[in-house]
Amino acid sequence: MTRNDEHDTFVTPQRRRLAEAVRHLVDATLTIEDATEEQLGTAADMTETVARHLGREPRDEDRGVRRRTETGHTDYLARSPLVGEVSPLAPPMQWVSRDGGIDMRGQYPAAYEGPPGYVHGGWIALTFDEVLGIANIDAGHPGMTGRLTVRYLKPTPLRRPVEIRGWTERVEGRRIIARAEMYVDGIKTTEAEGLFITIDSRLAAEYFGRDEAGAAGTEGL
């Protein structure tokens, strides 16, 4: 996965630092229970001031709109809701290519809670979708998700190290079948199977626009 100039100018040390600070703020918002209304109000005022400092009014109707300039999967990964190094949405996860698949390690803080003390099942499904997509691209078989089946074997606890393994199992023409497993303390908590479909450049242009067709058709965006 090669980087380009757009990635290098967007993903900077200070943007990474800002993303981590916002994660910290989200965690504090969800877990600090003894703050006074005055403290909360002051924190809200300060947060809105930060948004204005960056050129965004807190209630700006156009907030979140940006120009699409991705030219490959590396550009998307920086903003990924799971592993994005400059995405405040992303939990602290790290991944490496190993032995024909992807190994991922990390944990889920308070923002990812579903049942009290445990990870929301929707976040686990998103995790598997992302892990399998990365594994397929790493194996040279990019595709779009056609079906994702998740088996929840045990609740996955918050703030505990998780280990995730994803790999491409087989390729049948345009169909890519991939699998993943999640472990906590050596115990499997969830597993998944995904069916991914390779799309041609025509469909990529229809879904993502002409500027993105090359990247989407070749890298599965």
The answer to whether residue 11 sits within a structural domain is: no
The answer to whether residue 39 sits within a structural domain is: no
Q: What is the mean pLDDT of residues 95-121?
A: 95
Locate the DSSP E strands across the chain: 93-98, 101-106, 144-152, 162-172, 175-184, 187-197
Domain containing residue 155: CATH number? 3.10.129.10
Chain segment 168-191, per-residue pLDDT in tens: 999 999 999 999 999 999 999 999
Q: What is the predicted pLDDT for the residue at 200?
A: 83
Q: What is the predicted pLDDT for the residue at 202?
A: 83
Q: What is the mean pLDDT of residues 71-92?
A: 83
Q: Is the dihedral of CA 129, 7, 97, 140 positive or negative?
A: positive
Cβ partners under 8 Å of residue 53, min gap 6: none
The answer to whether residue 210 sits within a structural domain is: yes
- From CA 127, how far away is CA 133, in angstroms rounded? 10
The answer to whether residue 124 sits within a structural domain is: yes
Q: What is the mean pLDDT of residues 70-81?
A: 73
Q: What is the predicted pLDDT for the residue at 77?
A: 85
The answer to whether residue 1 sits within a structural domain is: no
Q: What is the predicted pLDDT for the residue at 13?
A: 94
In 3D space, the residue among 152, 163, 153 whose CA is nearest the CA of residue 185 turns out to be: 163
Q: What is the predicted pLDDT for the residue at 70?
A: 55
The answer to whether residue 40 sits within a structural domain is: no
Split into its structural domains, the chain has a count of: 1
pLDDT at 213 over 60: no
pLDDT at 44 over 80: yes
The answer to whether residue 134 sits within a structural domain is: yes
pLDDT at 125 over 50: yes
pTM score: 0.83
Q: What is the predicted pLDDT for the residue at 170?
A: 96
Range of the domain at 166: 73-219
Of 169 and 78, the structure prediction assigns the larger pLDDT to 169
The answer to whether residue 22 sits within a structural domain is: no
- From CA 118, how far away is CA 12, in angstroms rounded? 33
Q: What is the predicted pLDDT for the residue at 131?
A: 97
Model confidence at 79, in pLDDT bands (50, 70, 90)? confident
Percent of the chain past pLDDT 70, that is, above it, reads 82
